[in-house]
Each structure stands twice: as C-alpha cells, then as structure tokens.
C-alpha cells in the first residue's frame, strides 16, 4: 500500500512539474506575439511618440541622446518633431537652423507595412518643416523598440534608435 501511495505521489509531482514547464514554454514566443499585438495596436491608433536614445549621423560615431532630448509625435493625421541633428547641412538657414524640426504639420504619403513573420512594422511618412521637407521611416520591433531614418532635402541622412510609446497627456492643475 505504501508503495502505491509513493508511486501516486511521485507521478503527481512529476505531472505538476511537467505541466508547469510546458506552461513556461509558451513564454518567449507567445510573449513576443502579445507584445507585437500591443505595438501594432499602438501604431494603428496613430497616437504615439518616438523618443530616441542614440543618434547615428552619416559617416560619424553614434551619439548618446540621454541628455539631448528629441521626439517625433504621431497624432492622427498630424505629426510634430524636434530632433537633434548631427551631420552635414547643405542649405541651412543663417544661424544653423537647429535640428530637425517640424511643427504640427499634416502627414503626407503615409505607409504602413506589417511583417507578422518577423514581428516588425515599417511606418513611413513625409512632413514639411519651416525650411525643409523630411522623409521619415520607422522600423518598429515587436516590443516597441524602433530605428528611425530621417532624410531631408537640405541635410545629410541621419538615423536614431529609441522606443515608441503612448503619448502622455499634460496634466494641468
């Protein structure tokens, strides 16, 4: 009788351990799929912000942007951007003109491509700034990490790495 109880307890313990291990196996692939679904929902909402943490100017070393903030906001059919620029300017207004800047302007030539196999989204558009025209291409990963390439008429191309997230509303007291 003791042998039967011992075998039963041992098999129950083995069954619980096996079930627990198989439920953890879902983790990586299914977690990525869940994160991708959330990221895809965020991009589809057209209410998100890209915040860079590194810049990659053409022909130069990468630059840490943790103290040099920038952003690109997507707000429905409008966009707003203020990004630091490091590189060569061809036709820049007197005084340098600052970085890549476009105040609330209409999004033009918007394209969204979803690669469900690789869990990636490519979101691209064009925006007009005060003195320039920008082509922005975002390659967004399953977790919201993004690589952004900005090409303009008056400056050399530049790339940024960072993340997209929901736009947080300003709270005024």
CATH number of 38-166: 2.40.128.410
The CA distance from 2 to 8, in Å, is 10
pLDDT at 122 over 50: yes
> 52: how many CB neighbours lie within 10 A of its CB?
24
pLDDT for 123: 96
pLDDT grade, residue 21 (50/70/90)? low
pLDDT at 135 over 90: yes
pLDDT grade, residue 15 (50/70/90)? low
């Amino acid at each position: 009788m003791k042998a039967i109880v011992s075998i039963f307890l041992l098999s129950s313990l083995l069954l619980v351990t096996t079930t627990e291990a198989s439920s953890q196996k879902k983790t990586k692939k299914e977690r990525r799929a869940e994160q991708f679904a959330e990221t895809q929902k965020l991009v589809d909402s057209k209410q998100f912000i890209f915040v860079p943490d590194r810049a990659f100017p053409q022909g130069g070393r990468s630059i840490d942007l943790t103290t040099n903030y920038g952003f690109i906001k997507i707000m429905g059919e409008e966009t707003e951007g203020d990004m630091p620029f490091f590189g060569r300017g061809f036709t820049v207004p007197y005084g340098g003109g600052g970085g890549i800047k476009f105040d609330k302007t209409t999004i033009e030539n918007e394209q969204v491509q979803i690669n469900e196999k690789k869990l990636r989204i490519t979101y691209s558009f064009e925006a007009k700034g005060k003195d320039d025209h920008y082509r922005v291409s975002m390659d967004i990963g399953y977790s919201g990490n993004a690589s952004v390439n900005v090409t303009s008429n008056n400056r050399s191309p530049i790339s940024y790495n960072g993340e997209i997230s929901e736009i947080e509303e300003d709270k005024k007291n």
